[in-house]
Amino acid sequence: MTQMVRAAVQTGPRTIEMREFRRPEIGPDAALLRVEANGICGSDIEIYRGHLGGERDPFIPGHEPLGIIEELGDRAAERWGVQVGDRVAVEVIVPCRACEDCLTGRYQACRFRTYGHGVTGVDVAPSLWGGFAEYMYLSPTTVVHKIDKTLPVEIAAMYNPIGAGVRWAVDLGGVGLGDTLVVLGAGQRGIGAVIAAKAAGAKTVIITGLERDRHKLAVARELGADHTVIVDGDEGQDVVEAVTEITDGRMADVALEVTPMAAQPVTDAMTSVRHGGVVVLAGLKGRREIPLVTDLLINRGLTVKGAFGVDAAANRKAIALIESRRFALEKLHTHTFGLGEVGLAIDTLAGDAGDGAAIHVSVHPEYV
């Protein structure tokens, strides 16, 4: 049994170094995860660059961990419904599970959560809180979801972007049988929303992107998108005009905005939906003020929802969808990196390294 665990530790902006930690003792309520893979998302980029505050340094990043239960306490086994050897997906939020919000199912709003996988610093015992490591500690209140062990690692590791698609398009947006959805933004989460919406019976899914996203839009189409719209460059189309034409003037039932930093797509989302439609906002804008004609919301009776993370229900649905093997998810995966290449992996997703074609990127500790 390994006694020391290797992990990638972020010590400051754009600074990651390999360190070793003592393998922790596991009590009856906790567990130890052997990390198989950890997906990377847009907030990893912000965290890596130090834009989300550095007060937690040093810490082990990686908040989309997938792995195998290596050690497991008796009570954890019963409560979580898992066994040693099971593969599980792990949620970033470690709620207190005792406050009123936790009790009523809104654990993501828990004000007493003190830990987070990929967030908590190494000074908090037993240090191994993040997914960019050989092993990760699962605390008594960690949230885990079992997932089919026979799936390829990089596919199973997609539970988070697919879960986001489920949560944002289906659970919050309410997309269902016969509906039309517009997704603004063609990253892994935008494409995850295309997949989730088609799985839930959407009639028409339209996805927008930039000229440089052509290959992502092609993947989106292969995974179910009915229409793609390029919004910039010489052949760029106006989103609202495109939706008007595609829907024969009926407009979309739901619009989902997942672009980073841009303001125009927020307005486009609002003008792309029908009277009484729903707009889901998930693309963070760096706390910028976005100018919005709020009268539009009133005159058209719209509902706008802020999409805060992915919850347990959405993760379960996403896992069921992945396990159904109905979609060719391998088309989403573009890059695999080893534990020593976390910085490169993040730069690759950001388009600062590699060919700019990254969609789903993951770090596999055992990858050479």
> Does residue 291 have a cis peptide bond before it, meaning omega lies within 30 degrees of 0?
no
Stretch that binds its own copies, among 16-24, 54-62, 194-202, 355-363 (CB under 8 A): 194-202
| Beta pairing, strands 4-12 & 15-22 | antiparallel
By beta-carbon proximity to its own copies, the closer residue of 6 and 305 is: 305
Tell me: does residue 306 bind its own copies (CB under 8 A).
Answer: yes
Is 49 a binder of its own copies (CB under 8 A)?
Answer: no
Question: Out of 47, 196, 254, 339, which residue is the one contacting its own copies (CB under 8 A)?
Answer: 196
Which of 69, 240, 302, 329 lies at the binding interface for its own copies (CB under 8 A)?
302
133 binds its own copies (CB under 8 A): no
Give the Cα-Cα-Cα angle 166, 177, 314 (nearest 5 degrees): 15
The footprint of its own copies on residues 104-123 (CB under 8 A) is: 104-109, 112
For residue 81 the two structure tokens come to 């419904």
Considering beta carbons, is residue 55 or 235 the nearer one to its own copies? 55
Indicate which single residue of 266, 342, 344, 361 sits in contact with its own copies (rule: CB under 8 A): 266
Nearest CB to its own copies, comparing residues 3 and 286: 286
Tokens 């810490």 appear where?
Answer: 59
Residues of this chain, 13-32, that bind its own copies according to CB under 8 A: none
Is 307 a binder of its own copies (CB under 8 A)? yes
CB nearer to its own copies: pick between 12 and 81: 81
C-alpha to C-alpha distance for 191 and 221, rounded to whole angstroms = 9
- What phi and psi values does residue 44 have, to the nearest 5 degrees? -60, -40
| 3-state SS, one letter per residue, for 120-186 | CECCCCCCCCCCCECEEEECCCCCEEECCCCCCHHHHCCHHHHHHHHHHHHHHCCCCCCCEEEEECC
* DSSP 3-state of 15: strand
* Footprint of its own copies on 71-100 (CB under 8 A): 76, 78-81, 96-100
Q: Is 215 in the site for its own copies (CB under 8 A)?
A: no
